[in-house]
Amino acid sequence: MSYNSAILLIAAPLLMAFLSFILGIFNKRIPAILLVLTLSFNFYFSTYLLTLVSSKGVLVSVISGFEPPFGINLVLTYFSLLLLSLIYLIILSASVVFVSKKTDENTVKVATLLFLFTAAASGLLLTGDIFNMFVFFEIFAVANISLISLKKNKTSLKGSFKYLLLSSIGSAFLLFGIGMIYGTLGTLNIAEIGLRFYELSPLTGAFIFIMFLGAILSETETFPFNFWITDSYKGARNFVNILLGSASSVAALYIFFRLFFTIIGYPINNRYEFLISMDARLIIALISAISVIVSEIGALSSKSVKRILAFSSASQMGMILFAFSISDFNSFSAALTLIFNLSLSKAILFLSSHEIMKGAKEKNIESFTGGLGRNPVFSALFIFGSLSMVGFPLTLGFYGKISLVASAVSASGYFSILVFVILLASAAELFYYFRLMHKLFVSEQNHTEKTKMNWFYAASGSLLLAVMIILALMPKFTERIVSSAAGDMMDKTTYIERVLKAEDLK
């Protein structure tokens, strides 16, 4: 298989989505098994492409013979493939959780939705065309909305409706921005837009910047565009939480990067600057810092565990966006480490908290009481996950947080003040995570029944934990992937060159 078959990453799940509909008629288990198989394949293939890209640089896979910038093409960069593998890993663990559920009339539909989700995510991360990105963005949102509403209770419907509203406003903004670009530049290819963005008047640039902000900030769970999070997380099923909290966030961050850095930004002196008339970095940094503070405070006084985790996820996303806004090599490395930490540990947290709270009537922090005695495996998972989340020394979260501080302080100016504020706010995060962990240690009797251990959950959780531990304990490996991805992110020139001169490389 060569890199030209990268389209398989999108096509295989799409094909399976149709297949599973048909095969699901015979046996409801089949789609689920197909799901796990497809994702394993996708994960394997994306890592294979990753090794290919790491040796050959950015690759472009041209579809149906039209060369860029005219045709549709897939751009394989180290950064996108790395995030894609991560997303596949998360979806894989979520689908393992999904497989363990009893089958019902919904199983086939959900499997289809998950295939759709996978295909959309692959498309988002691989495409080199901004309109394609919009299309996949829509599919992605549809898949998310349907998945959130699976539970069919009030919160779930409310959450999915909010998500629907906000993301459709967002995609309208995106469409508007794309339209503006197409109208002025006459191209939809990301690389070419990035090359020729300077041709736009600064006012148009600023306008497009704001359109893009409106498009993406809802997906990146940034205050005040994220009013969907609490209800959606609370109302969704467990594996959907994993997808929302980890996979969707990673995809959103990827879109954020492409829209703002590859298109609008240009690297100078080892740092991205923006081709618009206002200080875009300040805006992003401010919004993300406010987002961190608000969500930390919101989480502090929440009682429902899922809501706490949702707020925490928003605050972590704020931190990553803040790292993006510093926009140099160091901060991108920090952001990548934080992305790894967020996606892996958040998945573990959702998964294990669900198992710990199983059997309790009210799913709030009180149902954590005595978790360690009741459910040692998942309590241990939860403790590991939250320790990494809050940055216990020598975990991924620690590396991420420290290097974020380092890059912000060395960027000086308002970043060093904002990072101080963010750190103070993240003390709140420590507080509520430690409150949860403390509840696990409480040995008082409560009325939560001891439930049977779910091995699928355990397997999926320990898979994620293993990845996390490997990343934290294998310095050479982590260092290499983080620095190549960050280097890839910094290197806009190569991206444009490779995409626009694809025919020379063949």
Partner 1 sequence: MILYSFLFALLTALLSLFIRREYNYIRWILYSAVLASLTFLIYTMNGLWGYSESFKLLSVGSVDFSLNFKVTPLSWLFSFFTTGLSLSISLFSIVKNRHEESERSIGFFWLILSVCNIAIFLSADLLTLFIFWEAMTFVSFFVISPGWTKSFKAVNYYFILSILGAFAMLVGIFFLYSKSATFNIESNIAQLFVLYELNSPQAIFITLMFVLGFFTKSALMPFHIWPAEAHSEAPDDFSSYLSGIMIKYGLYGSILFLVPLFVFISKFSQTQPMSNHIPLFSHILAWVGAITSVVATFLAVKSNDMKRLAAWSTVGNIGYAATSIFILSSMGVAGGIFHIINHAIFKTAIFLSLAAVKYRTHEREMHRLGGLAYKMPVTFLTFLLGIIAAAGIPPLNGYASKWMIYQSLLSGRFPFLATMIFLSSTGAFMYLFRALHSVFLGQLPSKFDDVKEVPFLMQIPMYILMLLMVIIGIFPGTVLLPVNSILKSMNMEEIKVTYTTMYSMLSSVDAPIVFLVFAGSFAFAFILYLIGKPRRHVELLDNYTAGQDPKEFGLTREMYHFALKFYEPFEHMFDKYPRTNTKEFYDSFERKINETGSFIKKFYSSSPRSAVYIFTLSIVLIIIYGWLVW
| Of residues 444-503, those binding partner 1 (CB under 8 A) | 444, 475, 478-479, 482, 486
Q: Find the binder of partner 1 among 1, 5, 279, 361 (CB under 8 A).
A: 279
User: For the chain, what is the largest distance between any 2 Cα atoms, rounded to a whole number of angstroms?
Assistant: 71
Can residue 278 be called a binding residue for partner 1 (CB under 8 A)? yes
When binding is defined by CB under 8 A, the residue of 416, 455, 501, 505 that contacts partner 1 is: 416
What phi and psi, each to the nearest 5 degrees, are found at residue 62?
A: -95, 135
* Out of 28, 162, 237, 281, the residue judged to bind partner 1 by CB under 8 A: 162
Q: Does 61 bind partner 1 (CB under 8 A)?
A: no
Query: Does residue 435 interact with partner 1 by CB under 8 A?
Result: yes
Piece of 60-68, 258-266, 357-365, 384-392 that binds partner 1 (CB under 8 A): 384-392
User: Which of 141/419 has CB closer to partner 1?
Assistant: 419
Integer Cα distance of 505 and 42 in angstroms: 25
Q: How far is the CB of 177 from partner 1 (least distance, A)?
A: 12
Do residues 332 and 384 touch, judged by C-beta distance below 8 A? no
- Closer Cβ to partner 1, 15 or 300, answer by number: 300
Q: What is the rounded distance in angstroms from the CA atom of residue 54 to the CA atom of residue 485? A: 9
Residue 430 interacting with partner 1 (CB under 8 A): yes
β-strands 271-274, 265-268: how paired?
antiparallel
Q: Does 176 bind partner 1 (CB under 8 A)?
A: no
- Residues 260, 264, 267, 272, CA torsion sign: negative
Interface residue with partner 1 among 406, 458, 463, 469 (CB under 8 A) is 406
Count CB neighbours of 427 within 10 A.
Answer: 10
AA identity, residue 269:
N
Residue from 116, 428, 464, 465 binding partner 1 (CB under 8 A): 428
Told to check if 402 binds partner 1 by CB under 8 A, we report yes
Q: For partner 1, which is the closer residue by CB, 35 or 145?
A: 145
Of 27 and 270, nearer to partner 1 (C-beta) is 270
Helix or strand or coil: residue 73? strand
26 CB contacts (<8 Å, ≥6 apart)? none
Binding of partner 1 by 330 (CB under 8 A): yes
- Residue 224 engages partner 1 in binding (rule: CB under 8 A): yes
Distance CA 298, CA 315 (A): 10
| Least distance to partner 1, CB of residue 499, Å | 27
Percent helix, strand and coil across the chain, each rounded to 5? 75, 5, 20
Could you give the string, one character per residue 302-321, with x where binding to partner 1 holds by CB under 8 A and - elsewhere? Answer: x----x--------------
Using CB under 8 A, which of 229, 319, 485, 502 touches partner 1?
229
Sign of CA dihedral 85, 395, 317, 489: negative
CB crowding 92-108: b at 16 or more within 10 Å, else e:
bbbbbbbbbbeeeeebb
- CB of residue 229 vs partner 1: minimum separation in angstroms? 7
First to last CA, the chain: 15
The verdict on 174 binding partner 1 (CB under 8 A) reads: no
414 binds partner 1 (CB under 8 A): no
Handedness of CA 318, 319, 320, 326 (dihedral sign): positive
Q: Can residue 154 be called a binding residue for partner 1 (CB under 8 A)?
A: no
Strand partners of residue 364: 304
151 binds partner 1 (CB under 8 A): no
> For partner 1, which stretch binds (CB under 8 A), given 58-66, 72-80, 164-172, 461-469?
164-172
**If binding is defined by CB under 8 A, does position 391 make contact with partner 1?**
yes
Query: Do 120 and 139 form a contact (C-beta atoms < 8 A)?
Result: yes
Residue 172 binds partner 1, judged by CB under 8 A: no
> Three-state SS string across 340-381, please?
HHHHHHHHHHHHHHHHHHCCCCCCEHHHHCCHHHHCHHHHHH
Which window, 9-17, 85-93, 126-134, 426-434, contacts partner 1 (CB under 8 A)? 426-434
- 345 sits near partner 1 (criterion: CB under 8 A): no
Minimal distance, residue 453 CB to partner 1, in Å: 18
- Of these, 38, 187, 230, 249, which contacts partner 1 (CB under 8 A)? 230
The residues in 73-112 that bind partner 1, with binding defined as CB under 8 A, are: none
Task: Give CA separation, 320 vs 37, 340, 392, 404, in Å.
Answer: 32, 11, 18, 9
The C-alpha atoms of residue 314 and residue 296 are separated, in whole angstroms, by 8
Contacts of 85 (CB under 8 A, 6+ apart): 43, 46, 47, 50
Shortest Å distance, C-beta 101 to partner 1: 27
Nearer to partner 1, 284 or 500 (CB): 284
Q: Provide the minimum distance between the beta carbon of 118 and partner 1 in the complex, in angstroms, as a whole number.
A: 28
Shortest distance in whole angstroms from residue 192 CB to partner 1:
25
Q: How far is the CB of 426 from partner 1 (least distance, A)?
A: 8
Site size for partner 1 (CB under 8 A) = 82
Binding to partner 1, residues 178-207 (CB under 8 A): 203, 206
By the 8 A CB rule, do 264 and 196 touch? no
With vertex at residue 36, the alpha carbon angle to CA 62 and CA 350, rounded to the nearest 5 degrees, is 105
Q: At 9, is the secondary structure helix, strand, or coil?
A: helix
Q: Give the one residue of 117, 212, 225, 261 binding partner 1; rule: CB under 8 A.
A: 225
